Amino acid sequence: MTDIGDVVVNIEMFGRVPTLQEPVVRHFYNPILRAQDVRQAWKSLVSEHPVMASLTVHNAGAALSWRDQKWVVDLYPRIHVPDGRSVIGYAQSADGIHFNVDARPVLKPATVDDFFAPGVDVARQIQMEAGGVEDMRINDVCTPEGIVRVATYSAYSAKVTDQVFVCLATIGEDGKTFTRLGPISDSIPMRNVVIAPRQINGEYVALVRANGVNAEAIGEEFAEIQIARSPQLSSGWVVEERPIIRTGQGPSPFQSKVGPGAQLIELGDGRILCIFHGARNTMANTPYSLGVAVFEPDMQSVKMCSLPILMPTEADCLVAKSVYVHVPQVVFSCGAVVVPTAWGGDSQDLFLYYGGNDTVMNVGWTRLDVLAELVEKYGQDPLTGKHLYQLP
């Protein structure tokens, strides 16, 4: 780890600029966080509790915060511990590249000692999270009372195999205090949820990917992104049966699975950009790639790019041969931040934080204008998979 300070980041340090051919440029010094960095930061904790010796650090939610008169990136990585569960850690950076890891996790499976909003079924919440918490997204949502920072995260059952629900929590100004709001739905298992940054027609809107584990789960298993709406953030979410994005038809790097990834980002013209993940079954494995789509301001329609913006390579999990690697051939993002001008960016520059092989944390540089152009040039029908262009 490198100590953070008031460092101005010249984004040209990535070596190349994002283009249509290479939309996401990997940082020279990836990975930016490894399990050994977390173990070092948690040294006192691990010495007393070896069960907290991290095996991985990946799939981090990210948010840009103005704190102590400077911009910082708050990072919330998923961290596997040896008993098979995951917890959420916290790291902060004054340049978006070099992170200091907090000495303890900030979110673990719920206990009665945690903070809960009024009306939350505490016993049900504890049961829901007992198998671990993971893959947090940080959503800054404009409400009538101002901007509210809401985390969405996956909660795993300790008793039912692969049963997972998505829960919500608000985050305090320190970036490390969580108040649980309960699940988006306690009847529909879900895996990935991101919330739009503003209300649409008086309602809060989210993209959800149902998990498809039991008969109550709507949608095709792992293959559809749907819209959920609610008059309030904390409860009342209703999932529309009609998918907004569907995979599983025709050749595609997203042919087998699809789900929302990093938090939604509003473009200057009111459209909303979604960086999603998708997977394709091959004879060897199921590589996960990242894709991009752009929603109209009302989120009733969407344009989806057929090309991946990032595919997994050996560069995404640079670890020693003796280090545990969780899932090969995976790039997966839960967070991105617009690069402040103080760090050398402009309103189009984005730091994309992504996990490599579900093992380490990496960062890439992309541009919103490049991603939007890709969507226009290389579209595919979001429901049928039909390519909307001809091969030259």
Model pLDDT for residues 65-114, shown as the tens digit of each residue? 999 999 999 999 999 999 999 999 999 999 999 999 999 999 999 999 99
Percent of the chain scoring above 90 in pLDDT:
86
Q: What is the mean pLDDT of residues 321-340?
A: 96
Q: Is the pLDDT of residue 321 over 50?
A: yes
CATH architecture of 11-380: 5 Propeller (2.115)
Helix, strand or coil, per DSSP, at residue 20: coil
Mean pLDDT of 225-229: 97
pLDDT confidence of residue 221: 66
Cis peptide before 189 (omega within 30 of 0): no
Predicted TM-score (pTM) of this structure: 0.95
Segment 190-205 shows an average pLDDT of 96
pLDDT per residue as tens digits for the range 154-178: 999 999 888 999 999 999 999 999 9
Amino acid letter for position 1: M
Q: Say what the pLDDT of residue 362 is.
A: 98
Which segment of 5-14, 55-64, 133-142 scores lowest on mean pLDDT? 5-14
List, as one string, the DSSP characters of 206-264. EEEEE---STT--SSTTTEEEEEEESSSSS--EEEEEEEEE-SSSS-TTSSEEEE-SPP
Pick the residue with more confidence: 238 or 248?
238
Q: In a 3-state reduction of DSSP, which class is residue 141?
A: strand
Whether the CB-CB separation of 209 and 274 falls below 8 Å is answered with no
pLDDT higher than threshold 70 for residue 9: no
Residues 6+ apart with CB under 8 A from 91: 33, 60, 74, 75, 77, 99, 100, 101, 102
> What number of other Cβ atoms are within 10 A of residue 131's Cβ?
22
CA distances from 283 to 222, 280, 312, 358 (A): 20, 10, 16, 21
User: By mean pLDDT, which of 169-173, 218-222, 269-273 is the weakest?
Assistant: 218-222
Q: Which residues pair with 239 in a beta bridge?
A: 228
pLDDT score, position 214: 45
* Average pLDDT, integer, range 322-344: 95
Which of 193, 185, 189, 242 is closest to 211 using CA atoms? 189
Question: Domain ranges in the chain?
Answer: 11-380
